[in-house]
Structure formats: structure tokens, C-alpha cells
Structure 1
Amino acid sequence: MITDVVPLASDATSPVFSWKLLADFQDMWSYLYMVNAFRAGLIVAVVCAVVGWFMVLRRQTFAGHTLSVAAFPGASLAVLAGFSTSLGYFGFCVAAALVIAAMQREGRDGGAEESAVTGTVQAFALACGYLFISLYKGLLEGPTALLFGDFLGITTGQVVTLAVVGAVVLAVLAVIGRPLLFASVDPEVAAGRGVPVRLLGTLFLVLLGAATAEASQITGTLLVFALMVIPAATAQQLTARPGLSLLLSVLLALAACWAGLIAAYYQPYPLGFFVTGFAFAAFVLAHLFRFAREAAGRRAPLQMGSAA
């Protein structure tokens, strides 16, 4: 039976991991908020892994970080004004993406100009967030969850919203994925072939804003990179094949998100910390694996030469 009751940390019956995996999962999924958390985690992990893979490939992690910062004032304003936090997340993130896209320039200095605009948007978003927090007269528990993530308040309605937005983002990426990949790898040649590079860049920033807004509701605005950057960067360390790399990015993001949810259910620490910790561990292991593989590759010719 699924219940809406959330167990308190001080309750004598607070969850304890027993290593009886089937019983542990049955107990965990008997709460509706945990079922919703796993559903939301699945949606967010897949969307962020796919969008994040293109973001890392396009070297737009600074823009992604700025959009995650924009989620902070959006959610803070929602808490202050008393409307849906999801609306605040999506509204501010997409608006910031449109501002960055509208003010970027093409040409030799376009990258520097985009970085300056991105930094300006980030600074203004932070200032707005701190203003809304200072105006908030309630308990600080709500704003703290906005920064570091909380899975206790994920409702069925929010899961539906995440699913709809995620489906739209993935559908658009499926349509523009091939030309976007071309424009990301070699924008000058793509433009010469008639690919609308600027339009694709603007559309991708909007998709990045939507994905960032989704991830912020799971990991919090400060740790959104756990799902947006780390799995994609890890996958691209392991293989240069686009299809396999994209699949690995999705699997790594999903594993980090669900493992983080399980850990946060049994331990009284922020969800964002666990998600980030698991993702970072995979990133370190990927680097060690690549280093060992390259070292083995360098030793092989030396051994063959000495044998000859």
C-alpha cells in the first residue's frame, strides 16, 4: 500500500537499511513521495544527460552554470510570492537563456562576448535571488531546499509537469540533433553548408534552460551540475563514439540520481550531496581508467621493441 505520510527523522520507526534489498525497496516505495521522487529522477536524469552531453560538447558549461543560477531567483520569487516553484524555475531559466542567446554575437570575438553576457546575467540573477531571500519572512527551510535539493515535496503534479517538459525537450533534440551535432563540432563548416548555426544555438540554449530548471528541482540550484555536466563529461572520457557516449551519459546520470535518492532516504543529509558525490566518484574512476589504458598502450610498443 502506498501512503502519503512522510516519516520524520526523529521518529523511532525512521528507515534503517537492513541489506534485505527486496524488503527495503518495498518499504521505501510504500511512500508516495518516494515513488514520485524516483519517477522525477528518471525523467530529469535522462533529459539532463542528453542536453548536458551537447552542452559539454559545445563548451557551454559556463552558460549552463548561469542558467542554474537563474533557477535560484526564480524559485525564490515563487516561494516569496506563493505561486508554483516549477513556474519560477522554468520562467527564469528560459528567460535567462533567451537573454544570453539574444545578446551573443558571431565572429572572432563572439565567444568572449557571450562569456561577458553570460557572466552579467549570472551576477544579476544572484543579486535577485538574494533580494527575494532577504524579503522572505518565513522559515528558511524552504529556500535551503531550493539551493541544495529536496525530494520530500515532489508531487504527482510536478512529475507530470517534468514528464511533459522532458518529452518536449527530447522531441526537439531528436529533430535538431544531427545538425546540432554538426554545428557543435565545426560551426564554420556547418554555416558554409547552410546549417542555421545561430538559430540552432538559440534553440539549444532554451532547451538547456528547460533541462536546468528540471534538474534544479531534484539537486537544488547550487548542485545542478551533478546531472548536467558530470555524467556527460565522464562518458566523453570513456569513449569518443557519439552514440555510445550519449548512452553512457544517460546511464551514469540515472545511476547517480537513483543511488542518491536511496542514500538520502536512509541518511539525514541533502540529496544534492549524494547525487553529486556518486557522479563525481564515477568521473574520477573514468579518469583513472583512461590513464591506465593510455599507460598500458604506451608500455605495449616498448615491450614489443625490447622483445625484438
Structure 2
Amino acid sequence: MTVASVSWNQIVDFSDYGALLSLSWKALVAGAVLGVLGGLVSVFVMMRDLPFAVHGVSELSFAGAAGFLLAGANVVAGSLTGSLVAALLIGSLGARARDRNSVIGVLMPFGLGLGVLFLSLYSGRTANKFGLLVGQIAAVNSAHLAAVVITSAVVLAGLAVVWRPLTFASTDPELASARGVPVRLLSPLFMLLLGLTVAISVQAVGALLVLTILVTPAAAAMRVSSSPVLVPVLAVVFAVVSMVGGILLELGSASLPITPYVTTISFAIYAACRGIGRLREYRSSSTRLSTT
């Protein structure tokens, strides 16, 4: 297909939108749940400087899902297996940032290579292969929705328990350790929660989209606020708007995946927040100059 032959209706087509919307409530619920979960987890991903780790875990999650797909087993279980293995390895071996990045740098190409190998050997539907990369959230069924909700509830419960000590350990690990906070234990524990989040996110939005809901929301929120209360709230709002908005737009296209819609909305939010942050910095510097 050439660029000239691409029809606008392939990108936006709302002719049967009402019927599609009524059939897609499961996808919208899954998107909203993943938005809430991704927004909260992204706060600690940014605080602990783990965007690279998210990508590394997603590669192993992709490899696990592809391997189970090839074996005819449950793809969700494969994704969970790959994510948890990667999360535990990164959490236990990468105590320091340099060590962590080295481990991730080794795991990423290994996981991606395994995933590509498994998909090359798989002779089933092409849509199954493509879905592991860009997601199939519009086709979420009841079993998958239940897995998303249950896993999200587990992760949210874990975050509720460790939120305060994890925040302390993420902002000042040395002082937190001196105050008796189990900093060494919190690192693998958070990586375990991150692994669960990545696993269910990969199944819904694909390995290529995980960074959009686990990094960008908090990155955008931190450009406009430093409040420990407002940043998580804004991150959740940004993630939910990106996910639900992307699904609503994707329903208007029968031939395009959700990826470009969610990433575009997410990037637009980040760009707007970055612009607001720059404007505030400029006004603040101008005010200081005028008073001196």
C-alpha cells in the first residue's frame, strides 16, 4: 500500500460508532483500570529512575507470551511468567543504578530475540503475533477483563501497603535506611508489582505501548507539580484520558490498532505539561530578576 492509496476512512470512520461503542464496554473498563494502575505505578517508575527497567521487563513479558503462544498454552500466563522473571532478576541483581542498567541491557536483547524466534516459529493467526506488539484491547473478553481487574487489585493493594515507605526510600534511600525503612526489601518488592503491571498491560496494549502508560503520565505530571499528592492524581488522570481516549478513537477505525491513538494523546499531554512547566520557569525567573 502506498501513501497515496491510504484512505482517510482508515484512520477515522464513525459510521457504525454507536454499535461498536455498545459492544466495547469491556475494553473501556480495562482501559480505565489500566490507566489508574499505570498512572500510580508510573510515579514510582519516575521517582526511582526505572523507565529503562519498564522496557526491559516488557521485552521478557513479550518473550514469555510468545513462547506460550507457540506452545499452545495460556498467553496471559506466559506474559506473567516472563515479567516476573525479569522483575525479580532486575530487583535482586540491580541494587545500584549502574548494575541495574547493565542487567537490563543484557536482558532486553535476549528477551526480544527469544520473542522474535518464538513468533517466527508460530504458524497460527497473524493477528495473534501482531497483538503481542501493539495490543488487542478492543477485543478484550470476559476472562481477560477479569484477569486485568484481579491483577490490578493485587498491585493496588500492594502499593497501598508500601506507598509511604516506598516514597521515602525513593526520594532519600540513605536517610530512609537510617530510619529503619527496609530499602533493600522494597526494591525487589516494587519490581514484583511492576512486573505484574507490565504483564497485564502488555496483553492489553502490547509490548510497544507499555512505556506510554507506565512512564509518560508521571513524567508529564512532574512537569507541572512537585506535590506528593497532586502528582499521583494528575498521573492517573493523564493515563486514564490517554487509554480511554485512545480506545474511543480506535473504535472509529477498523484497520488501525490502538497504539497510534494512545501514544498521540499521551505525547500531546506531555508536550502541553512541558510547555506549562517552561512557562512557569520563565515567569519565575522574570519575577526574581525584577525584584533584584
Give TM-score scaled by structure 2 length: 0.91
Secondary structure of 2:231's match?
Answer: helix
Instruction: Please identify, of 150-159 and 229-238, the stretch whose mean Cα deviation from structure 2 is larger.
Output: 150-159
Aligned 1:217-228 pairs, distance under 5 A: 217-228=203-214
Q: Could you give the per-residue CA deviations for residues 27-58 of structure 1, whole angstroms, max 9, x where no partner exists?
A: 33321xx1110111111111111111111111
The corresponding residue for 2:21 is: 29
% identical aligned pairs: 34
Taking the aligned partners of 1:218 and 1:274, their CA distance within structure 2 comes to: 14
Structure (1 or 2) with the larger CA radius of gyration:
1
Shift of 1:222: 1.2
Q: Could you give the per-residue CA deviations for residues 181-203 of structure 1, whole angstroms, max 9, x where no partner exists?
A: 00000111111111111110000
Secondary structure of 1:178's match?
Answer: helix
Instruction: Please identify, of 266-275 and 54-63, the stretch whose mean Cα deviation from structure 2 is larger.
Output: 266-275
Q: Which of 71, 80, 94 does residue 61 from structure 2 map onto?
A: 71
The corresponding residue for 1:5 is: none
Q: Segments of 4+ in structure 1 off by > 6 A?
A: none
Shift of 1:122: 1.4
Q: Give 2:184's aligned amino acid.
A: R
The corresponding residue for 2:152 is: 166
Q: Give 2:85's aligned amino acid.
A: A
The corresponding residue for 1:261 is: 247
Q: Give 1:257's aligned amino acid.
A: M
Taking the aligned partners of 2:210 and 2:199, their CA distance within structure 1 comes to: 9
Aligned-residue Cα RMSD (Å) equals 1.9
Residue 17 (1) aligns with residue 4 (2): no
**Maintained 8 Å contact 2:13/2:252:** yes
Q: 1:192 to 1:275 in 2, by over 3 A?
A: same
Aligned 1:281-300 pairs, distance under 5 A: 281-300=268-287
Shift of 1:280: 0.5
**Maintained 8 Å contact 2:60/2:82:** yes
The corresponding residue for 1:245 is: 231
Task: Structure 2: state its 5+ residue gaps.
Answer: 1-11
Taking the aligned partners of 1:257 and 1:72, their CA distance within structure 2 comes to: 20
Q: Give 1:138's aligned amino acid.
A: G
**Maintained 8 Å contact 2:21/2:251:** no
Shift of 1:103: 1.8
**Maintained 8 Å contact 2:138/2:247:** no
Task: Structure 1: state its 5+ residue gaps.
Answer: 1-14
Residue 51 (1) aligns with residue 37 (2): no
The corresponding residue for 1:155 is: 141
Instruction: Please identify, of 198-207 and 84-93, the stretch whose mean Cα deviation from structure 2 is larger.
Output: 84-93
Residue 272 (1) aligns with residue 272 (2): no
Instruction: Please identify, of 257-266 and 112-121, the stretch whose mean Cα deviation from structure 2 is larger.
Output: 112-121
Q: Could you give the per-residue CA deviations for residues 200-241 of structure 1, whole angstroms, max 9, x where no partner exists?
A: 000000000111112112221012111010011001111000
Q: Give 2:88's aligned amino acid.
A: L
Shift of 1:266: 0.5
Q: 1:87 to 1:294 in 2, by over 3 A?
A: same
**Maintained 8 Å contact 1:100/1:121:** no
Q: Give 2:165's aligned amino acid.
A: P
Taking the aligned partners of 1:302 and 1:280, their CA distance within structure 2 comes to: 33
Taking the aligned partners of 1:302 and 1:101, their CA distance within structure 2 comes to: 46
Secondary structure of 2:251's match?
Answer: helix
Residue 212 (1) aligns with residue 198 (2): yes
Taking the aligned partners of 1:37 and 1:71, their CA distance within structure 2 comes to: 21
Aligned 1:176-191 pairs, distance under 5 A: 176-191=162-177
Q: Which has the higher contact order (CA 8 A, sep 6+)?
A: 2
Q: Could you give the per-residue CA deviations for residues 5-47 of structure 1, whole angstroms, max 9, x where no partner exists?
A: xxxxxxxxxx9437xxxx95x533321xx11101111111111
The corresponding residue for 2:3 is: none
Secondary structure of 1:118's match?
Answer: helix
Shift of 1:75: 1.5
Instruction: Please identify, of 141-150 and 96-105, the stretch whose mean Cα deviation from structure 2 is larger.
Output: 96-105
Give TM-score scaled by structure 1 length: 0.86
Shift of 1:302: 4.5
